[in-house]
Amino acid sequence: MFKMSENNKPDLANSKALFVLKIVTMSFAILACVIVATAMLTRWIMDLNRKIKESNSKIARASARIEKFRKGRIKHILNQIKQQLKEEKAARKKQKNAANTADEDETAREMDELEELDALTDEEAAIDGFDNELCDIALDQQ
């Protein structure tokens, strides 16, 4: 099993058993490295996945806040337009009463403006419906 050296002592450095032992030891070392690398990569991937999910939820919350702000701003603008039209109508009514003139064109214009006000409320309802659908889609994607 052991080779004998020049001094009639066994040569452990060149023996086949030592060679096999070195191969087995290196195999276990390589296996241990592979296991450690796999564990580290798994942990890294899991952390990355968690961060992506957190990022998506933060984006969804920010998007919802922006949509809420946008809806409020649209409603505010539409209310300002309605108020302005009402004020213009009241001013024209005062002029009409002051002059005591009954102009049919003025009445027709007022009716057109009232129809425009109704159209604005329809547009507002359509915008709200569309925004609600977008929010539902965004929440479903999470």
Q: 119 falls in which pLDDT band (50, 70, 90)? A: low
Q: 141 falls in which pLDDT band (50, 70, 90)? A: low
- Contact criterion met (CB below 8 Å) for 82 and 120: yes
Q: Considering its fold, how many domains does the chain have in total?
A: 2
Q: Which domain holds residue 95?
A: 61-142
pLDDT at 2 over 70: no
Which pLDDT value is given to residue 11? 60
CA 79/CA 85 separation, integer angstroms:
10
- Contact criterion met (CB below 8 Å) for 63 and 131: no
CA 62/CA 140 separation, integer angstroms:
16
Instruction: For 87-118, write each residue's pLDDT tens digit.
Output: 888 888 887 776 655 566 667 677 777 777 66
Could you give the C-alpha distances from 30 to 1, 18, 41, 121, in angstroms and in order?
Answer: 28, 18, 16, 73
Q: Tell me: do 1 and 69 sit in the same domain.
A: no
101 domain-assigned: yes
